[in-house]
A and B are shown apart, each in its own frame.
Chain A
Amino acid sequence: MLFQEYMELMKKRLMNNFDMTVPFEYAGYSIDLFAESHLRTERYFASKKVKVYGMENDEFCFMKHFDMITEDIVDAYIEMLIASIDDMVKLREDHMSTIITGIIVADSVDDKNIENVVKRFRHQKSYAFGLKGWVDVRLILVDLHGKIVVPSKKAVKVETFYRP
């Protein structure tokens, strides 16, 4: 599968729940597809006028295609994702969780070390021991040629969603 085909496929899958920006310049990267979702849930007491509490769950996806992929490239991309936390997480009163998903798309992946880096990756940060919410960074490696998705630990549940 070609990257453009994959991107169109992902746009279709994301369009119901995400706002998308194509392309998106961020931290020196030209991100091919940036998607964001902001979900707010509220609990009421007796009427909609009395909100008991609200929960806000945000999700950001950074999808980037690389012609050639190395461990250094993956490490640098991970660094960028972690650094993006400061920009993406907005600690509002009802903030519960933010998920930042980095999707690295490559034409083919032959290096097992890269796969291991992705599989082992895990990054989480809590605010005020979780009372102000938390952020999770997860990573997805997509091999277009082999039609394989390698997820980080926290990304396993969305593996099928990103399958080419």
Chain B
Amino acid sequence: MNSLVLVLASIVIFIVAYLTYGRWLAKTWGIDPTKETPAHYMEDGVDYVPAKAPVLLGHHFASIAGAGPITGPIAAAAFGWVPVMLWIVIGGIFFGGVHDFGALFSSIRNDGKSIGQVIEANVGRTEKKLFAVFSWLTLVLVIAAFVNIVANTFVASPEAAMASMLFIALAVVFGYFVYRKGASLAIGSVIGVALLVVCIWIGMAFPLVLSRNVWIGFLLVYIFIASVTPVWILLQPRDYLNSFLLYAMIIGAVLGLIFYAPSMQLTPFAGFKVGGQWLFPMLFITIACGAISGFHSLVASGTTSKQIDNEKDALLIGYGGMLIECVLAVIALVTAGYVSQGDFTNLLANGGPINVFSEGIGTFMTKIGIPFSVGKPFAALAISAFALTSLDTATRLGRFILQEFFEDDTKEVQSILVTNRFIATTITVIAGGSLSVVGWSKVWPLFGSSNQLLAALALLALAAYLKNNGKKYGMIILPMIFMFAATLTALVLLIQQNIAAGNILLVAFAVALLGLAVVLVARSYKVLTKKTEL
């Protein structure tokens, strides 16, 4: 199979899916362009800020993409490229797209609050609390992991560190001019992207060398600031400008593939059991971003829903954002599939999936005249920039969830202790920072299952919301059942393996997750079948 055919065919399928299934979802759920969004009727200049569709798409896409759509497909390529490709295409269109779009839509209709709030309104308050604890802990784990990843990247690549620091400064200047001085978004974007290139050049010329501990300290201060400052001054413009790096990488790779068009050398199907791992459920846990990922529902119902200018933008940002990510996942698969098995193993051993991807992108870009010595570091830099994006967004989401956990709608004045954004951020940063220093890697194996369980629970919340509001929810049921089956099976396997290994902490968390899933499923089942009145 020619890799160019694979990429172009998938792009065509995604476009057709967007124009047909996506639009059908929007119509069926009752997307209403005339309805005022929370960004307008709750505008506060900090979290609720209307943003133009391209800007918000950039923020949303940069936040959900990270390294996930790259690492997942490449790691799962061991099962062969056909099952990976099928899961990206089918999963993206019928699972992930529905999940992201639905989470965004239901959040918009619930004052831009998180999925937890949707659960409270449609299932119950206790269930919301359970979900909030689970999702907050997952975010703390994400913060811990990405603090390490980013700090280590900055130590190993001081050029990327300098460029990332300049990106932050550039974002603040961009946000100030566009939102406070009324500068044109189009002109600002052109200048911003040009300055991005300048930042990369300065980073190459003047690397910033600091120790790992200093970077960890800096990152913790940075994520605190990014979480509490108005979204338009730092988080959103940084994500928006960064998204151009990813767009450039995708376009560069596709153009390179047009001229190169290598054949896929990877085996199409390696079997149902590879390296001691079963295709079901491992494929569906390993490939999260790029098919369906629970983290997306937190972003969609966290930062994105509070900034959406018009309900009609939800299709482009929620569903379209997911499908763009799927294209990136297909390209990632091709970077693993066009090399020989020996080269693939060697590249994996020397830097993991990101190295496989950077090598592939660098090679593809040489076909359009970009030297390999520029293309490969550019791909690695873009991905490391996105690791920082995932980190700051996760902190803000953690803050939202903690605030909502303690909010009581029946009271006019909320308890200042944790509904205050500074205190909620401090708790989240301290928790993530502490775990980043001690032992986060011991519980990291749980992330894949917990992230996908989050997706299943978000689908459950969405189904309950649609059902309670008299809307069709049949399109949710199959993805929801499948995701529960995959994640619960994976959790059981994880528990079995870690009981044998003696990792009691991980076993305890996995059992708690299983219990949580069972409680929420039981309660939501009653809602969905209308056997009890709430």
Contact = CB atoms under 8 A, between A and B. Distances in A.
Say whether A associates with B.
Answer: yes
A75 B496 CA distance: 30
Contacts of A101: none
A52 B352 CA distance: 10
Contact of A157 (B67, B438, B500): B500
A161 interface: no
Contacts of A134: 502-504
A146 to B, nearest CB: 27
Given A45-B153, A52-B149, A154-B502, A133 B350 contact: no
A48 B505 CA distance: 29
Contacts of A51: 152
A151 B153 CA distance: 45
Contacts of B156: 47, 49-50
Main secondary structure of the interface of A (DSSP, over half): strand
Contacts of A133: 442
A47 B441 contact: no
B286 interface: no
B351 A46 contact: yes
A128 B352 CA distance: 29
A49 B438 contact: no
B389 interface: no
Main secondary structure of the interface of B (DSSP, over half): helix
A97 interface: yes
B505 A131 contact: yes
Nearest to A126: B504
B428 interface: no
Contacts of A136: 502
Interface string B138-161: 000000010011001101110000
A97 B439 contact: no
A129 B157 CA distance: 34
A97 B350 contact: no
A128 B443 CA distance: 13
A48 B351 CA distance: 5
Given A46-B384, A47-B156, A52-B152, A131 B438 contact: yes
A154 B503 CA distance: 13
Contacts of A49: 156-157
A54 B380 CA distance: 21
Contacts of A52: 145, 148-149, 152, 352, 441
A53 B351 contact: no
Contact of A47 (B148, B355, B502): B355
Contact of A45 (B152, B439, B500): B152
A96 interface: yes
A130 interface: yes
Interface string A121-159: 000101011111110100000000000000000100100
Interface string B425-468: 00000000000001111111000000000000000000000000
Q: Which of A47, A48, A54, A134 has the most CB of B within 10 A?
A: A47
B413 interface: no
A46 B441 contact: no
A47 B351 contact: yes
A20 interface: no
A55 interface: yes
Contact of A130 (B67, B148, B355, B439): B439
B107 interface: no
A44 interface: yes
Contacts of B443: 131
Contacts of B505: 126, 129-131
Nearest to B145: A52
A50 B503 contact: no
Nearest to A157: B500
Contact of B439 (A46, A124, A132): A132
A117 to B, nearest CB: 21
Contacts of B440: 53
A96 B441 CA distance: 9
Contact of A50 (B157, B439, B504): B157
Contacts of A45: 67, 149, 152-153, 351-352, 354, 384, 387
Interface in B364-415: 380, 383-384, 387
A19 B351 CA distance: 29
Contacts of B354: 44-46
Given A130-B504, A134-B504, A47 B439 contact: no
Interface in B478-506: 500-506
Contacts of A124: 502, 504
B10 interface: no
A96 B352 CA distance: 21
A13 interface: no
A47 B384 CA distance: 11
B137 to A, nearest CB: 14
A131 B352 contact: no
Contacts of A128: 438-439
A49 B152 CA distance: 8
Nearest to B156: A49
Contacts of B506: 130
A90 to B, nearest CB: 16
Interface string B499-534: 011111110000000000000000000000000000
Given A52-B149, A124-B502, 13 more contacts: A44-B351, A44-B352, A44-B355, A46-B380, A47-B156, A52-B441, A53-B440, A53-B441, A97-B502, A124-B504, A130-B439, A130-B503, A130-B504
22 contacts: A44-B351, A44-B354, A44-B355, A45-B67, A45-B352, A45-B387, A46-B153, A46-B384, A47-B350, A47-B355, A47-B380, A50-B153, A52-B145, A52-B149, A94-B441, A96-B442, A130-B503, A130-B504, A130-B506, A131-B439, A134-B503, A154-B502
Interface of B: 67, 145, 148-149, 152-153, 155-157, 350-352, 354-355, 358, 380, 383-384, 387, 438-444, 500-506
Interface of A: 43-55, 94, 96-97, 124, 126, 128-134, 136, 154, 157
User: What are the 9 tightest A-B residue pairs by CB atom distance, in nearest-first order?
Assistant: A131-B439, A130-B505, A49-B156, A53-B441, A46-B354, A47-B351, A50-B156, A44-B352, A46-B380
